[in-house]
Structure 1
Amino acid sequence: MQLSPNYYNERVCLNVLANSIDNAKAIYEAAQTHVVVGILSKNYFDNEAAIADMKRYAAAIDNAISVGLGAGDPNQSTMVSEISAVLQPQHVNQVFTGVAASRALLGQKETIINGLVSPTGEVGLVNIATGSISSKLPAAIVPVETAIALLKDMGGSSIKYFPMSGLKHKDEFEYVAKCCAEHDFYLEPTGGIDLDNYEAILKIALDAGVKRIIPHIYSSIIDKATGATRISDVKQLLAITQKLVDK
């Protein structure tokens, strides 16, 4: 598996979407390689089409790709695992119940795999029922520490905390960040992050001492007319990141 130059060396790695290889290349350059570019499995008819296209993205940006579900869709879990086994990407997005399958099919420990857990409205607790069947049933609410331990058991690397709705769950997020720092686990804040709240969200994770943070900034920086991620916004996100990390 080829690693992009800064992926495993930096404390913060952006995660943004691209709608074309040209967009991905521009993102990668604007972020100075401190990024994984999200490509959504949900956009493809089948595994074969996804693998063929994602290979082209990987070749263009030093394999700095993040295989995505598509708005956390649990029905994409199996497809993500299967195509990731072939692609060997640097980053994989998974629902909580899909982490073990992805790790087993990857056959290595280097790729970062997140596991999706959701806010509950109560500090210290998260919902882990994010799979294709479990998400349709009453929430499975567990302590954050237990969720991290379960993810570690399954070979996961990080918590994908979604949907955050920006700073709506600030107190809960602060506790999740604290736990990730204490238990040597990565953190991926996701949902409603934009140029206005990004600094506050990232600062919470950095101040907590999280070892590696992969913030997902999606729809808020996508040009609605073209569907492409705005390169000027990526540059602004990088500038904010560098300002906080260099303090």
Structure 2
Amino acid sequence: MAGLKPNYYQDRVALNVLANSVENAEACYKAAEGHVVLGVLTKNYPTDEAAIADMKPYQQAIDNAVSVDLGAGDPNQSSMVTRVAAAIQPQHVNQVFTGVGASRTALGQGDTVINGLVSPTGHVGTVNIATGPLSSQQAAAEVPVATAIALLKDMGGTSIKYFPMKGLAHEAEFRAVAEACADNDFDLEPTGGISLDNFEEILQIAVAAGVRRIIPHVYSSIIDKATGDTRPEDVAKLYEIVKKVLANA
């Protein structure tokens, strides 16, 4: 079941949203016409075994369009993500920068998308790669974006997870990251503070830069606070925006 389906990206773009249940995952998958991965947070499970058992029905229901997630970028979930991903072989894995190599090795194949989390620094053209369990407790490790991409490639990563973006608060930095991803043939996953209000502009920046594949993460802004479900109708709206942006590119 590992690997990417031919229609995983709709001409370069797939959504990443959270799933609160198998039923919610199915509804969101349908709303995006299959161009989405559904995030399941390892942080929500007390053990590997519980996470693995719970994620397998998701795999069956949505053609393995499962994203094994940390949970708010929590570096302490890095090892659990690696172990769970190795067991279920999902289509997508969220990792901190220092966990990418371990996850790729544990997966034993090159099809699954693995992102590596890097953070804004306040300086255009650089990112912070100290996002691991220990490194995140130290001073930022600020490197040029192209260097971060090369390191991720060395470790078997396929995309930069740029987090926390805080919407467009780091717009100039995000533009530089998008350009570096395009220049170095690398995927980009903008994450943090993305909503229906700013999604189109964020996606347009990445598409205009020439990024080959983009996976925007849209989480809390489209979750129903009463039920905890991601709203399928909002996923459908996001997917319509994807089609609009790509049609005008």
TM-score, L = length of structure 2: 0.98
Unaligned runs of 5+ in 1: none
Alpha carbon RMSD of aligned pairs, Å? 0.9
Q: Conserved in 1, the CA contact under 8 Å of 2:89 and 2:112?
A: yes
Aligned partners of 2:5, 2:197: CA distance in 1, in Å? Answer: 28
Given residue 23 of structure 1, which amino acid in structure 2 is its aligned partner? N
CA distance in 2, matches of 1:97, 1:175: 22
Q: Does 1:209 align with 2:210?
A: yes
Conservation of the 8 A alpha-carbon contact between 2:10 and 2:35: no
Give the aligned residue type for 2:25.
A
Match of 1:119, SS state, is coil
Displacement of 1:235:
0.7
What is residue 186 of structure 1 aligned with on the other side?
187
Q: CA–CA distance in 2 between the matches of 1:8 and 1:108?
A: 20
Q: CA deviation at 1:152?
A: 0.3
Does 2:69 align with 1:68? yes
TM-fit CA distance, 1:6: 1.2
**Whole-Å Cα distance in 2 between the matches of residues 62 and 95 of structure 1?**
25
| Superposed displacement of residue 7, structure 1 | 1.1
Q: Which residue of 1 aligns with 2:123?
A: 122
Query: 1:4: Cα distance to partner?
Result: 4.0
1:81-140 Cα shifts (integer Å, max 9, x gaps): 001001100000000000000000000000000000000011001000000000000000
Written as runs of structure 1 = structure 2, the 5 A alignment for 1:230-241 is 230-241=231-242
CA distance in 1, matches of 2:29, 2:232: 9
Aligned partner letter, 1:68: D
8 Å contact kept, 2:166–2:194: yes
Could you tell me how far apart the structure 2 residues matched to 1:67 and 1:108 are? Answer: 16
- CA apart distance, 1:246: 1.4
8 A Cα contact 1:10 1:34, kept in partner: no
Separation of aligned partners in 1, 2:222 and 2:29: 15
Deviations 1:182-203 (A, max 9, x none): 0000000000000000000000
| CA deviation string 1:172-220 (max 9, x = no partner) | 0000000000000000000000000000000000000000000000000
Segments of 4+ moved more than 6 angstroms: none
For residues 55-91 of structure 1, the C-alpha deviation after alignment (integer angstroms, 9 at most, x for no partner) is 1101100000000000000000000000100110000
The residue aligned with 1:55 is 56
SS at match of 1:181: helix
Same amino acid, percent of matched pairs:
68
CA–CA separation in structure 1 for the residues paired with 2:10 and 2:236: 20
Q: Which structure 2 segments of 5+ residues have no match?
A: none
Structure 2 residue 147 is the aligned partner of structure 1 residue 158: no
Residue deviations 1:5-43 (CA, integer Å, cap 9, x gap) = 511564000000010000000000000000000000000
The question of whether the paired residues in 2 share the 8 Å contact of 1:117 and 1:160 is answered with yes
25 and 5 in structure 1: CA distance in 2 versus 1, 3 angstrom threshold:
farther
Counterpart residue number, 1:41: 42
Aligned partner of residue 95 in structure 2, secondary structure: coil
8 Å CA contact 2:11, 2:246 repeated in 1: no
Partner SS, residue 45 of structure 1: coil
SS of residue paired to 2:119: strand
Q: Structure 2 matches for 1:70-219, cutoff 5 A?
A: 70-219=71-220
What secondary structure does 2:237 align onto?
helix
Contact 2:192 2:217 in 1 (8 A): yes
1:27 has 2:17 as partner: no
Query: Would the aligned equivalents of 2:32 and 2:239 in 1 still touch at CA under 8 Å?
Result: yes
